[in-house]
Structure 1
């Protein structure tokens, strides 16, 4: 009686293992796909879901246009100079705010390196910049700036990048190997030598990762800042307000996707610059993935 039971148990195990083979092969095939293929599949799924929602009552009442309508509007706006002028001025404000915010964040992070006791204050300051509601800071910045000035847009863009850059830089500077620091000290190196020869190199991967995240945040902060500008008639935020005023959902969706595209392009460019500056960080990530 034991042999039939044993055979039955073996057959059950074999059947179960055979059933798991397709799922394992599917998982391996998905893992073997290039990154762009996964991204393309994600975009296709999003567009299909978008088209499905546009066919519901939400789309029929004009709140959610179809992807075809947005694509046609984008084709019309692509040849309009006002569209590119709006994208250009908003991108310039975002770049100015990005550089300003990164500069402030680096000063705070290196101040912590020179004065370790100030780390708690610096971290709290970075958290405060992240927790401040931009919708409340925007009107205050507009009141303090002259008319026809883009100070609010630049200021909100700068405020959006301080937290991630400060935290990423501090973590990167503190990740330096104590052995390497001791070697520099043993050969007569100063603290400045430790910063240049060891800490900066160790901090590059974390710093570049923080800069990648900060780039889209700067553009979105610049767009939000344009909601509060006075005496300014160009910008992505201004066009969004115009579309909202005239209940033009297609224009709003077109500009929203444009903002996402510019933010994604900024992320991509910073990522490529990081690969050129610190190629060893990319290699270590690929090595850790297997």
Structure 2
């Protein structure tokens, strides 16, 4: 009885279907694809779904324009100086708020590092800034600010980034290697020396990740702040209000996509800067980061 079994066993092994190998190779080929391929496929699927919904009863009332109509209006907007002026005005306010909010957040993180007892106050303050409804704060700031200024837009942009940067900076500054800190202390170094020599370098990955997330938040906060401005006639938020007033759904979609594109561009640029400054934490095994 043993001989037939021994003879059958090799035949069973050799007769194994070869269909498993192609599945492995196909899985490997999918995993070896560049990351941008998945992004392109995702965009294609989203646009296809958008075009399909636009021709269904959900989009026939005009609230969802077709991708072709949006692209055509984009082409007209590119030649309109007011369109670029609006992008520049909103981006300037967002950049100012981005610098102010992140500056406040980094100062709070450094205070926590020098005075550990203030950590509870700093984190609670950061949580409060993230929990405050911007639509409720905006009108209050607009009332207190002078007409014709962009204080509200800058304020909401700054408020939108404090929480993310405070948490990222504190976590980064605390992630320093304890042995390196002890070495500096053993040689008579102060806390400022520890911050300058060790903690700031250790905090870079977390801090840059927080700054990367804060960039789109600052821009969208600036756009929202323009809804409450008085005496200002330029900005993406102003154009959105105008398009909503005239019930121009296509223009609203163009401006909304423009806001997303600018916010995404800010995210991308800071991500590239982070890869150049901290290649060891950017997932680049070669240690080199390039555009």
Q: Same fold (TM over 0.5)?
A: yes
Give the aligned partner of residue 161 of structure 1. 161
Counterpart for residue 172 of structure 2: 172
What is the match of residue 262 of structure 2? 262
Superposition deviation, residue 103 in structure 1: 0.5
Q: For 1:57, what is the secondary structure of its paired residue?
A: coil
1:26 deviates by 2.8
Query: 1:48-67 maps to which residues of 2 (within 5 A)?
Result: 48-67=48-67
Q: Counterpart of 1:189?
A: 189
Displacement of 1:239 in angstroms is: 0.6
Higher helix share: 1
Residue 136 of structure 2: aligned partner: 136
Partner of 2:108: 108
Q: Which residue is equivalent to 1:124?
A: 124
The superposition leaves residues 145-199 of structure 1 with CA deviations (integer Å, 9 ceiling, x where unpaired) of 1111111100000000001100000010000010110111112211111000000
CA deviations on 1:34-75 (whole Å, 9 max, x unpaired) are 122222111111111111111111221101011110000000
Structure 1 residues without counterparts, runs of 5 or longer: none
Deviations 1:15-35 (A, max 9, x none): 5xx555444333322221112
1:59 aligned counterpart, secondary structure: coil
User: Compared with structure 1, are the counterparts of its residues 29 and 110 closer, same or farther at alpha carbon in structure 2 (3 Å cutoff)?
Assistant: same
Once the two structures are TM-superposed, the CA of residue 286 in structure 1 deviates from its matched residue by 3.6
**Residue matched to 1:276:** 276
* 1-structure distance, mates of 2:169, 2:20: 45
Pair 148,189 (structure 1): closer, same or farther in 2 beyond 3 Å: same
Note the C-alpha offset of 1:233.
1.1
1:1-290 counterparts in 2 under 5 A? 3=5, 14-15=16-17, 18-282=18-282, 285-287=283-285
| Alignment match, 2:289 | none
Shift of 1:245: 1.1
Identify if the C-alpha distance between structure 1 residues 184 and 144 changes in structure 2 by more than 3 Å, giving closer, same or farther. Answer: same
* CA displacement 1:195-229 (0-9 Å, x = unmatched): 00000000000000000000000000000011111
Q: Please, which moves more after superposition, 100-109 or 270-279?
A: 270-279
Runs of 4+ in 1 over 6 A off after TM superposition: none
User: Given the two structures, how large is their TM-score scaled by the length of structure 2?
Assistant: 0.91
